[in-house]
């Protein structure tokens, strides 16, 4: 028996059959926690308990891990929504919503890939991702239109996207949101959104006349302000790590060396964008509260203020929500505290209107509502025509009353 044990101890360890999946999962969790560019292959390997070179037996590079992880997230959603067993439309839709809520909660540490890290995918892989999401939306919109035949295809898709956004909100915050209770609450939010009065379909892109020869967009007179405006625009479009100080200077019409007269570095530009977003959002919320007559009115006004802010400052909001991990250490703690304070102000108002609601449940509803504003606004390109901003606010308020 001792000889057999010795033989076993000397045998090489077998490679787990699921090592590729483990690597992808570790990569996805780290990407969501620290951003795609903030994670190295060696760090992913360490999280799995293997060496860096061992990763390359399964993936040629870090980008391949991102693609695989994104496919895994979408694949889980598609698998959960494949062929519901109920005979009637309401039963099928309820079955689908419960299943998707379960995926969102169980994979909350990686599902955030759908929202922000996907911008690092190539055009080919973004199209693949978009096609999968279109399939998912169609699986929910079909039974929804059976239940609500008055909806157009565009309206059904928009309500479905709002419901999916509520599920996705569990990936956007750190507080505990696990278990069957959260799944049931998210399902209730989704049902509430799907039953909401149908908003118009997202506005189509507007065709604008070409500017007159020699005309140029109005730009800030202050060079510091101009640099900040261009940095926010570029960070939103390409992601923080893909933008260099030279790019920002070129967009502002100046040399890179001139940028450093106003900001010590790129990270300071990002921090300035965050402080600006925080100040403006705090000001808008404070003004809304000052004009309110009671808690219900205050909640309506605060939601509307946030929608107005998001629609008027869409680039700034996108950067504010996506680039936390790239802030300098000296600023991150302070700014995250300000974000939490904003959420808690909403939680306080929700519980003032609905005192029976536990604080944890109110927090889940608040994050769902905030996510709906961001996602539904982005679908409609933050276009205010046809009252799209008003309808977005109505959806967010419905989520808070689920």
Provide the b/e sequence for 339-368 (b: ≥16 CB within 10 Å): beebbebbbebbbebbeebeeebbbbbbbb
pLDDT reported for residue 14: 58
pLDDT reported for residue 8: 41
Average pLDDT over all residues of the chain? 88
- List, for residues 202-244, the tens digit of each pLDDT value: 666 544 334 444 434 566 778 999 999 999 999 988 888 889 9
What percent of the chain lies above the pLDDT cut of 70?
88
Report CA Rg, the chain: 23
CB 240 within 8 A of CB 265: no
Is pLDDT above 50 for 186?
Answer: yes
The mean pLDDT value for 264-293 works out to: 95
- DSSP code of residue 254: S
pLDDT reported for residue 178: 57
pLDDT reported for residue 25: 93
Structure-token pair, residue 255:
């040399």
CB 29 within 8 A of CB 109: yes
The mean pLDDT value for 95-102 works out to: 96
pLDDT reported for residue 11: 42
With residue 196 as reference, give the H or E element that holds it.
none
- Residues near 329 by Cβ (< 8 Å), separated by ≥ 6? none
pLDDT interval class at 300 (50, 70, 90): very high
pLDDT reported for residue 17: 73
- List, for residues 6-44, the tens digit of each pLDDT value: 444 444 445 677 899 999 999 999 988 888 888 999 999
Torsion from C-alpha of 284, 285, 289, 294, nearest 10 degrees: 130
Q: Given CA atoms 239, 241, 243, 248 in this order, what sign does their dihedral have?
A: positive
CB 126 within 8 A of CB 118: yes
CB 63 within 8 A of CB 114: no
- DSSP code of residue 201: P
pLDDT reported for residue 37: 84
pLDDT interval class at 322 (50, 70, 90): confident
Which of these ranges, 35-49, 269-283, 315-329, has the smallest mean pLDDT?
A: 315-329
pLDDT reported for residue 175: 58
Which of these ranges, 126-130, 172-176, 194-198, has the smallest mean pLDDT?
A: 172-176
With residue 386 as reference, give the H or E element that holds it.
none
Which of these ranges, 5-19, 115-129, 282-296, 317-331, has the smallest mean pLDDT?
A: 5-19
- Residues near 281 by Cβ (< 8 Å), separated by ≥ 6? 306, 309, 342
The mean pLDDT value for 153-162 works out to: 94
What percent of the chain lies above the pLDDT cut of 90?
68
pLDDT reported for residue 385: 82
Which of these ranges, 11-15, 188-192, 312-316, 397-401, has the smallest mean pLDDT?
A: 11-15
pLDDT interval class at 2 (50, 70, 90): very low
pLDDT reported for residue 5: 42
Which of these ranges, 59-63, 198-202, 301-305, has the smallest mean pLDDT?
A: 198-202
Is pLDDT above 60 for 257?
Answer: yes
CB 298 within 8 A of CB 349: yes
Is pLDDT above 80 for 336?
Answer: yes
pLDDT reported for residue 38: 84
């Amino acid at each position: 028996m001792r000889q057999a044990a010795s033989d076993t101890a000397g045998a090489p360890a077998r490679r787990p059959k699921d090592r590729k999946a483990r690597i992808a999962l570790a990569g996805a969790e780290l990407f969501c926690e620290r951003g795609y560019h903030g994670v190295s292959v060696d760090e992913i390997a360490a999280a799995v308990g293997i060496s860096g070179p061992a990763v390359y037996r399964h993936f040629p590079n870090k980008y391949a891990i991102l693609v695989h992880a994104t496919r895994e997230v979408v694949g889980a959603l598609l698998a959960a929504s494949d062929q519901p067993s109920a005979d009637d439309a309401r039963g099928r839709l309820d079955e689908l919503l419960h299943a998707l809520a379960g995926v969102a909660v169980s994979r909350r540490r990686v599902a955030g890939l759908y929202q922000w890290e996907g911008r690092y995918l190539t055009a080919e892989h973004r199209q693949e991702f978009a096609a999968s999401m279109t399939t998912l939306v169609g699986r929910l919109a079909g039974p929804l239109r059976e239940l609500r035949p008055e909806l157009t295809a565009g309206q059904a898709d928009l309500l479905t996207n709002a419901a999916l956004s509520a599920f996705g909100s569990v990936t956007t915050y750190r507080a505990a949101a696990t278990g069957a209770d959260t799944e049931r609450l998210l399902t209730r939010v989704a049902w509430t959104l799907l039953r909401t009065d149908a908003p118009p379909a997202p506005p189509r892109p507007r065709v604008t006349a070409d500017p007159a020869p020699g005309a140029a967009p109005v730009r800030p007179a202050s060079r510091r302000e101009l640099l900040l405006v261009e940095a926010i625009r570029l960070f939103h479009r390409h992601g923080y790590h893909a933008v260099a100080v030279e790019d920002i200077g070129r967009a502002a019409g100046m040399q890179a060396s001139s940028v450093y007269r106003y900001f010590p570095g790129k990270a300071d530009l990002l921090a300035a964008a965050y402080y600006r977003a925080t100040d403006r959002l705090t000001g808008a919320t404070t003004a809304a509260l000052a004009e309110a007559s009671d808690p219900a009115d205050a909640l309506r006004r605060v939601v509307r203020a946030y929608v107005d802010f998001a629609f008027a400052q869409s680039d700034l909001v996108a950067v504010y929500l996506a680039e936390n991990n790239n802030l300098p250490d000296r600023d991150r703690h302070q700014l995250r505290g300000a974000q939490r304070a904003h959420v808690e102000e909403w939680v306080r108002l929700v519980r003032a209107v609905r005192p029976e609601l536990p604080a944890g449940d109110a927090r889940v509803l608040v994050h769902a509502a905030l996510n709906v504003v961001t996602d539904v606004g982005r679908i409609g390109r933050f276009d205010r025509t046809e009252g799209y901003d008003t309808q977005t606010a109505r959806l967010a308020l419905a989520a808070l009353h689920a």
